[in-house]
A = this chain, B = another copy of it.
């Protein structure tokens, strides 16, 4: 059978990729290391040679997904170089795509829900990465020339976060269906001041 993922990729990378996917689909506590290694076409020993513990693997997965998200942001700048307002609209479109194609929400937010222990090592990472994303959105809003850029960015943040969690609890016909209308309306309204 064509395994695809196991052809010429290092076990560590296969594990990381597979774990990201499975954590995303089934939740962190919903998948064990055995299942991950088996799906990655390797075994538990190899996992523990590359990662100190499951918690360590979780953290590396979160960093990897944040890295992918950053790449998407870079694509906005590449597509509309200098035009920050166009990038902001591209962000809205991208979000609505994500909402349409995936109903498991944000890995970091989900991890924060699942890892309820306040001193869990992953929580630091989640906070750091989320703060970085917030800052990026604030900058985009500011450079797009809207007044109260922080307030607009935070509002869009909450709408996004809410849409992704609402999608999981009530489905695609719920409030999240109106995300684009809400976001575009807000941007226009902030822009008008």
Query: A residues touching B (Cβ–Cβ < 8 Å)?
Result: 25-27, 29-30, 104-105, 108-110, 112-114, 116-117, 126-127, 130-131, 134, 151, 153-155, 157-163, 165-166, 168-171, 174-179, 181-182, 189
**Pairwise interchain contact B157-A159, C-beta atoms closer than 8 A:** no
A105, A130, A158, A181 — most chain B CB neighbours (10 Å): A158
**Pairwise interchain contact A162-B170, C-beta atoms closer than 8 A:** no
**Pairwise interchain contact A27-B158, C-beta atoms closer than 8 A:** no
Known: A157-B162, A158-B158. A113 touches B168 (CB 8 A): yes
| A137, chain B: closest CB distance, angstroms | 9
Cα-based distance from A157 to B169 in the complex (angstroms): 12
User: Which B residues lie within 8 Å of A117 (CB)?
Assistant: 26
Known: A29-B29, A174-B134. A165 touches B168 (CB 8 A): no
**5 tightest CB-CB pairs across the interface, nearest first?**
A162-B162, A158-B162, A154-B175, A161-B162, A112-B169
- The 27 listed contacts between A and B (C-beta, < 8 Å) are A26-B117, A27-B29, A29-B29, A29-B30, A30-B114, A112-B165, A113-B168, A114-B114, A127-B170, A130-B166, A130-B170, A130-B174, A151-B182, A154-B174, A154-B177, A154-B178, A155-B159, A155-B175, A155-B178, A157-B162, A157-B175, A158-B158, A158-B176, A159-B162, A161-B161, A162-B163, A165-B165
